[in-house]
């Protein structure tokens, strides 16, 4: 899935990035060579947002051709994304007599035309048919020309090249997918790390801001610049709990600001995890500093991380060892309650 989104993003960035619609127009200069060419014009259309039912027209076009009297073509499109509204046969001055059909089930357009009027000889682009679509869903739809036959007035086939078109209806969607505090309990005045993972779940690179909170209090912001489609980034925020009321568990949440044309904002905010801010010396986390905390400190005395009796909460000053300094902190806060 991410690989498909990356493909869409690469095409979108290279071809089109203008709001709300970008048209990549073929010009005659692209076909200065002698070969007859049948192509879709515009070559690419990009919508920056989905507006269901929005209509647009592409043209089956020919260039560098002599004595075109008839043609048969097939064109495929994405039926989940697009719906055909109408087809008009051109040019009017040649009085085209023809038939066309559309299969919504298979996404195939068939056009068969013979000109009652003059055949077409041209070194510049001439439109043969106008196809009007309406938008239904996001995605990408190649407009693929295949099984094409061009014939002259004597019924001889005309050797030619083809060039397809591409329609993009882009998705803009950023999300917070993970919020992970480095601990679930800490002493008031300590600093802890909160790792936030933001992801671009859309089709083009996005820039946005990530904000992180305890309850509704903001304690960190970080700008994300040009995060590619399908990519994610990890951001580490530091929360200094100095001045935070002890004795409470605080939910941690992160938010990605909305990007232009983003329709799904439900995943921009994530509450995940909580941190209990404790009184200094409240080793056993019962909101009171008393003999039970001294007992817990004594049981862990002299231990380091990895020892069987190690208790990280007994290491009150966070220096990696449970020692007399930690015991003094308990005594200094003895009988404190939250």
Does residue 261 contact residue 138 with C-beta atoms inside 8 Å? no
Predicted confidence band at 33 (pLDDT cuts at 50, 70, 90)? low
Of the candidate ranges 28-32, 50-54, 222-226, the one whose mean pLDDT is the lowest: 28-32
The answer, yes or no, to whether residue 5 has pLDDT greater than 50, is no
Predicted confidence band at 3 (pLDDT cuts at 50, 70, 90)? very low
Per the structure block, which two tokens stand in for 91? 């040019």
pLDDT in tens, 121-179: 999 999 999 999 999 999 999 999 999 999 999 999 999 999 999 999 999 999 999 99
- The conformational region for residue 189 under phi > 0 = left, psi -120 to 50 = alpha, else beta, is left
pLDDT in tens, 197-234: 999 999 999 999 999 999 999 999 999 999 999 999 99
The answer, yes or no, to whether residue 6 has pLDDT greater than 70, is no
The answer, yes or no, to whether residue 325 has pLDDT greater than 80, is yes
Q: What is the mean pLDDT of residues 169-193?
A: 97
* Among candidate residues 50, 311, 35, 331, the one with its CA nearest the CA of residue 171: 50
Neighbouring residues of 77: CB distance < 8 A, sequence distance ≥ 6? 84, 107, 109, 133, 141, 142, 143, 144, 167
Predicted confidence band at 92 (pLDDT cuts at 50, 70, 90)? confident
Q: Provide the pLDDT for residue 10.
A: 38
Q: Provide the pLDDT for residue 4.
A: 40
Q: What is the mean pLDDT of residues 263-267?
A: 94
The answer, yes or no, to whether residue 17 has pLDDT greater than 60, is no
| Element at 330 (helix H, strand E) | helix 324-332
Average pLDDT, the chain: 91
| Element at 5 (helix H, strand E) | helix 2-15
**Backbone Cα Rg of the chain:** 33
Please state the length of the chain. Answer: 338
- The conformational region for residue 18 under phi > 0 = left, psi -120 to 50 = alpha, else beta, is beta
Does residue 311 contact residue 283 with C-beta atoms inside 8 Å? yes
The DSSP letter of residue 244 is P
Predicted confidence band at 94 (pLDDT cuts at 50, 70, 90)? confident
Q: Provide the pLDDT for residue 34.
A: 81
Q: Provide the pLDDT for residue 8.
A: 37
C-alpha to C-alpha distances, 276 to 9, 241, 287, 305, nearest whole angstrom:
42, 10, 10, 21
Helices (DSSP H) in 222-323: which residue ranges?
291-299
C-alpha to C-alpha distances, 196 to 45, 104, 151, 177, nearest whole angstrom:
36, 44, 62, 8
| Model pTM score | 0.73
Q: Provide the pLDDT for residue 9.
A: 39
Q: Provide the pLDDT for residue 304.
A: 95
Q: Provide the pLDDT for residue 303.
A: 96
C-alpha to C-alpha distances, 302 to 284, 290, 296, 320, nearest whole angstrom:
18, 20, 12, 10
Predicted confidence band at 263 (pLDDT cuts at 50, 70, 90)? confident
Distance between CA 108 and CA 110 in Å, rounded?
A: 7
Q: Provide the pLDDT for residue 20.
A: 39
Q: Domains in the chain, start-ordered, CATH in brackets?
A: 2-169 (2.60.40.680), 172-278 (2.60.40.10), 283-338 (1.10.1330.10)
The answer, yes or no, to whether residue 32 has pLDDT greater than 90, is no
Does residue 256 contact residue 176 with C-beta atoms inside 8 Å? yes
Distance between CA 337 and CA 278 in Å, rounded?
A: 10
Q: 230-233 long-range contacts, Cβ below 8 Å, gap at least 24?
A: 230/2, 230/3, 230/5, 230/6, 230/9, 230/200, 230/201, 231/199, 231/200, 232/177, 232/197, 232/198, 232/199, 232/200, 233/197, 233/198, 233/199
């Amino acid at each position: 899935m991410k690989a498909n989104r990356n493909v869409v993003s690469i095409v979108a960035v290279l071809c089109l990035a203008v709001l709300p619609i970008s048209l990549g127009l073929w010009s005659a200069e692209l076909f200065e060579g002698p070969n007859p060419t049948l192509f879709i014009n515009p070559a690419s259309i990009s919508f920056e947002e989905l507006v269901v039912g929005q209509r647009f027209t592409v043209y089956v076009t020919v260039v560098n051709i002599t004595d075109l009297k008839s043609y048969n073509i097939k064109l495929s499109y994405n039926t989940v994304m697009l719906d055909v509204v109408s087809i008009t046969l051109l040019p009017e001055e040649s009085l085209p007599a023809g038939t066309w059909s559309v299969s919504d089930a298979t996404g195939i357009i068939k056009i068969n035309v013979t000109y009652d009027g003059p055949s077409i000889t041209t070194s510049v682009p001439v439109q043969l048919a106008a196809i009007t679509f309406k938008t239904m869903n996001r995605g990408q739809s190649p407009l693929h020309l295949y099984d094409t036959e061009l014939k002259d007035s004597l019924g001889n086939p005309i050797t030619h090249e083809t060039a397809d078109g591409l329609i993009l209806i882009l998705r803009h969607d950023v999300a917070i997918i993970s919020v992970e505090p480095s601990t679930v309990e800490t002493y008031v005045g300590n600093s802890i790390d909160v790792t936030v993972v933001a992801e671009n779940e859309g089709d083009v690179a996005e820039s946005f801001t990530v904000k992180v909170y305890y309850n509704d209090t903001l304690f960190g912001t970080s700008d994300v610049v040009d995060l590619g489609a399908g990519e994610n980034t990890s951001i580490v925020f530091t929360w200094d709990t100095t001045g935070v009321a002890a004795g409470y568990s605080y939910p941690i949440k992160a938010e990605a600001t909305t990007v232009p044309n983003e329709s799904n904002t439900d995943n921009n905010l994530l509450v995940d995890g909580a941190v209990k801010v404790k009184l200094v010396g409240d080793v056993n986390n019962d909101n009171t500093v008393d003999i039970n905390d001294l007992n817990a400190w004594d049981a862990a005395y002299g231990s380091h991380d990895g020892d069987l009796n190690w208790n990280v909460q007994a290491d009150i000053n966070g220096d990696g060892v449970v020692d007399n300094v930690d015991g003094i902190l308990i005594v200094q806060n003895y009988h404190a309650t939250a």
